Amino acid sequence: MDKNKIIQKVKIYTQKTLKAEPTGHDWWHAWRVWKMSKEIAKKEGGDIFIIELAALLHDIADWKFHKGSTKKGANKAAGLLKKLGVRDNDIKHICHIINEISFKGAGVKNKIKTKEGKIVQDADRLDVLGAIGIARVFAYGGFKKREIFNPDIKPKLHKSFREYRSNKNTSINHFYEKLLILKNRLNTKTAKKIAQSRHKFLENYLKEFFKEWEVKL
């Protein structure tokens, strides 16, 4: 099993599959998560083969676009990896990461246990923070036909995945329901350090947003 060749084939597959996806869950998101996962792994360790494949495939069939199914992405990844000759134990590990990587509500516990999973999850969550994270929120909100903001609709901290996936709140509410929570939900010291400035950027953006919203002439 030539691991480098497998990674390159998965990279090409993901690039073709997610090319030009308009909601912020595109190839370039996968690419950023892949690159960030490798950077975190330099500090934190872990099986880099598992980390790279899980990062590249983590959004190959995101539940948000498949009627809430958290299994479709893992099943799709498993089929590909089996064809490429990846060992069964490695496929099982990668699929566990894909199944559990997503944020599923403020009140839902994180089920990822392995170092490799924690690293990829952190890389994915870092991509929701900062300037890129803000761009992704509004790209997805537009796709879902959500209002940017409505002062009559209050943020909600969802207690279950079922409640979270049926959420139809505004894009600004999503900052309070997910983005601002993530800094304290990261797994590794490396990711927590990176998150500090990105979290601050979110806070400053919201301050400016509400300053403009409440402007008085």
Residue 217: is its pLDDT beyond 70?
no
Q: Could you give the CA distance from residue 214 to residue 103 in angstroms, rounded to a whole number?
A: 31
| Predicted local distance difference test score (pLDDT) of residue 186 | 96
| Predicted local distance difference test score (pLDDT) of residue 125 | 96
Mean pLDDT over each residue of the chain, to the nearest integer: 91
Q: 103 pLDDT band (50/70/90 cuts)?
A: confident
Q: Could you give the CA distance from residue 196 to residue 191 in angstroms, rounded to a whole number?
A: 9
Q: What is the mean pLDDT of residues 31-39?
A: 97
Token code pair at residue 184 = 């304290």
| Predicted local distance difference test score (pLDDT) of residue 21 | 84
Q: 206 pLDDT band (50/70/90 cuts)?
A: very high
pLDDT, tens only, 151-163: 999 998 888 878 7
Q: 168 pLDDT band (50/70/90 cuts)?
A: confident
| Predicted local distance difference test score (pLDDT) of residue 176 | 95
Give the C-alpha distances (Å, rounded to integers) separating 131 from 43, 127, 135, 157, 179.
24, 9, 6, 23, 12
pLDDT, tens only, 46-90: 999 999 999 999 988 776 765 656 677 788 899 999 999 999 999
Fold of 3-213: Hypothetical protein af1432 (1.10.3210)
Residue 144: is its pLDDT beyond 90?
no
Give the C-alpha distances (Å, rounded to integers) separating 152 from 40, 61, 142, 167, 185.
40, 34, 19, 15, 28
Q: What is the mean pLDDT of residues 167-180?
A: 92
Residues 111 and 105: beta-carbon distance below 8 Å: no
Q: Could you give the CA distance from residue 175 to residue 190 in angstroms, rounded to a whole number?
A: 23
Residue 201: is its pLDDT beyond 60?
yes
Phi-psi region of 67 (alpha: psi -120 to 50; beta: other; left: phi over 0): left
The full set of domain ranges for the chain reads 3-213
Give the C-alpha distances (Å, rounded to integers) separating 186 from 47, 51, 86, 124.
19, 16, 29, 10
